[in-house]
Structure 1
Amino acid sequence: MNKPSLLVLIPLDDDSYSQVAAHFDIVYAATPAERSAAIGTQGAAIRAVLTNGTTGLTAAEIDQLPQVEFVSALGAGYENIAIDHARARGIVLCNGAGTNDDCVADHAFALLLAAVRDIAYRDRATREGIWRTQLPMAPTVSRKRMGIVGLGNIGMKVARRAAGFDIETGYHNRKPRTDAAFRYFDSVVELARWCDYLVIATPGGAATQHMVERKVLEALGPRGFLVNVSRGSVVDSAALADALASGTIAGAGLDVYEGEPEPPRALTGLRNVVLTPHVAGTSPEAIAASVSNFIDNATRHFAGEAVLTPI
């Protein structure tokens, strides 16, 4: 029996590629030029697409894939996939929800610890022979307040880690969670005013564009720290750069930023920000779980069964 034709729009390591190739005939198009060429020349035969939230899949591209019936994001995000257009075509949509939650939550705390304790700068200072008496003291992380914007699976795991540091948690969602005992705030500004650490774990997309802007940063205040492990679009980068440079907030830890993959030029020269290149959800364990989840979903779909993690 012929394997379904799968268009892969994201880079896969050798092990992941081999696992997926056991189930699909892969059309590999991980660069913009390859993507355009593959859709133009082989689009008519494609039955499935593997992408992610950042890379997405446009409505125009879907229109060039007349046989496509299954589209999956490898990770949890799907903000740049034309969801409504795909649904109108009857395309089955799924994502990798739950496959990298621990990894992202771990990374959020790594960024928080690094930002609050000034780890990156102190590492450089130590290598340059600077002793502690020449450095300002950094705050204690424990026994503070954390505000989480987006108390989903990842947000809950961040809160669980915060409890280990005796940190009190509050949160903002579109509506309160009935299964969460944490304090709910109906605005991001009020949450920021209450907390010491503001952790962004909400989905990206138009609904959350620049949710964290100047007023939020002013409310967070000069002893406050921002951590973003969701999408760069949620935070107004220019406002954040101004807030960090002026001391409006104390510091930030960012795994995501506007204009990826270009480094955020307004931020790279500032010493009170820790930056990583959108790696919070990636580890050997997380990638393996995401690939396995994709294969499970795809196998179920092409066997006529319901997918496990639908969008």
Structure 2
Amino acid sequence: MTQPSDVGDTRPEILIATPLPARDIAPLESQFLIHRYDQASDKPAFLAGCRKVRAMLTSGHTGADAALIAALPALEIITCFGVGVDGVDFEATRARGIPVTNTPDVLTGDVADLAIALALSVMRDIPKADAHVRAGKWTSGTLPLARRFFGSKIGILGMGRIGLATAERARGFGCEIGYFNRSAKPGLPYEAFETPQTLAAWADVVIITLAGGAGTRAIMDAAAIEALGPTGYLVNVSRGSTVDEAALIEALQTGKIAGAGLDVFLNEPNIDPRFAELHNTVLMPHLGSATDETRRAMGQLMRDNLAAHFAGQPLLTPVE
């Protein structure tokens, strides 16, 4: 429901398009007139009361398409809760000169931590071992031997902030690092590969840390997945769109690759039901940045960008 404007209230009006923690809503309410688009049942009708909205708060998953942007004639800024901005229509924002911000850096460490955790979990069969103990089966038999992570060849697909942080963590395990990046990264102490497929053919584990969007859609295609081979693993902490998901499921079903640790999926949260039938996967519901410390920092950075905009100061983390 739209918060009604009091007579004489000059606070800027903002639209919240994505669910946010209560701890972020409270300070926003003290500074702005809030329109909770994320809670509206009849969204087209709701937008009729948003003609004075000057800022939108969204996320990479929720996004901001051209129709929503067009429905907000006074819109001045879009700020994203998260690093992903692949759901934002940049043609629409550029046409109106609307800046977009996100929350990089503050979530880099958590996502990199989870990438390593997923690799360890799937290679060491940690969920299976946990279930084995909980079911009282410890004395009834032993589990199959797992694969070790330390000393592995780790291929990083996307050497941005999160890719670099993941590589640093993997080096601590004595791993050899290779990478593929769409643009040159001179000076890195790691081997660069020309294609995702050649990276996968070299690696024991490919960890995807790319940004989402049209430019990376299915960049980990069927050929690259198959190049991992029957002893190779795939970890994805980026976006589900970066992987040919049908090819991945088929490879996991038939043993073309050994396993996968996945935090992201196509069509999440309504993911392909075949994932639940696979026994060589560790699946998480997109929790890469989901620690209390990081989510607090993300909310603060989002609010700081809004404050800078309305104070006429430079934005802290503009995407463009």
TM class by shorter-chain length? Answer: over 0.9
Per mean C-alpha deviation after superposition, the further-off stretch among 11-20 and 52-61 is 11-20
Q: Does 1:236 align with 2:244?
A: yes
Q: Does 1:189 align with 2:197?
A: yes
Residue aligned with 1:43, SS: coil
TM-score by length of 1: 0.96
Aligned residue identity for 1:295: R
Q: 1:98 to 1:38 in 2, by over 3 A?
A: farther
Q: 1:24 to 1:105 in 2, by over 3 A?
A: same
The answer for the alignment partner of 1:17 in structure 2 is 25
Q: Displacement of 1:34 after TM fit? A: 5.5
- Unmatched runs of 5 consecutive residues or more in structure 2: 1-8
Q: CA contact under 8 A between 1:189 and 1:215: conserved in structure 2?
A: yes
User: Given the alignment, which residue of 52, 65, 68 partners 1:61?
Assistant: 68
The answer for the alignment partner of 2:214 in structure 1 is 206
Q: Does 1:48 align with 2:34?
A: no
Q: Does 1:289 align with 2:297?
A: yes
Q: CA contact under 8 A between 1:117 and 1:139: conserved in structure 2?
A: yes
Aligned residue identity for 2:235: V
Q: Does 1:128 align with 2:142?
A: no
Residue aligned with 1:47, SS: strand
Could you list the per-position Cα deviations for residues 36-55 of structure 1 after superposition, in whole angstroms to 9, with x for gaps in the alignment? 4432x222111000001110
Q: Displacement of 1:254 after TM fit? A: 0.4
Q: CA contact under 8 A between 1:20 and 1:291: conserved in structure 2?
A: no
Q: Does 1:86 align with 2:86?
A: no
Which whole-Å CA distance do the structure 1 matches of 2:281 and 2:29 have between them? 41
Could you list the per-position Cα deviations for residues 163-207 of structure 1 after superposition, in whole angstroms to 9, with x for gaps in the alignment? 110011111111221242111111000000010010000011111
Q: Displacement of 1:253 after TM fit? A: 0.4
- Unmatched runs of 5 consecutive residues or more in structure 1: none
Q: 1:34 to 1:197 in 2, by over 3 A?
A: farther
Q: Give the share of equivalent positions with the same residue, in percent.
A: 39
User: Given the alignment, which residue of 27, 31, 43 partners 2:35?
Assistant: 27
Superposition pairs for residues 110-121 of structure 1, below 5 Å? 110-121=117-128
Could you list the per-position Cα deviations for residues 67-86 of structure 1 after superposition, in whole angstroms to 9, with x for gaps in the alignment? 00010111110101111211
Q: CA contact under 8 A between 1:238 and 1:266: conserved in structure 2?
A: no
Q: CA contact under 8 A between 1:75 and 1:99: conserved in structure 2?
A: no
Q: 1:38 to 1:285 in 2, by over 3 A?
A: farther
Q: Displacement of 1:12 after TM fit? A: 1.4
Per mean C-alpha deviation after superposition, the further-off stretch among 151-160 and 120-129 is 120-129
Q: How many residues align?
A: 310
Q: Does 1:138 align with 2:143?
A: no
Q: Does 1:267 align with 2:285?
A: no
Could you list the per-position Cα deviations for residues 70-110 of structure 1 after superposition, in whole angstroms to 9, with x for gaps in the alignment? 10111110101111211110112111111211111111111
The answer for the alignment partner of 1:164 in structure 2 is 172
Residue aligned with 1:146, SS: strand
Q: 1:104 to 1:49 in 2, by over 3 A?
A: same
Q: Displacement of 1:285 after TM fit? A: 1.0
Which whole-Å CA distance do the structure 2 matches of 1:119 and 1:149 have between them? 24
Which whole-Å CA distance do the structure 1 matches of 2:96 and 2:167 have between them? 39
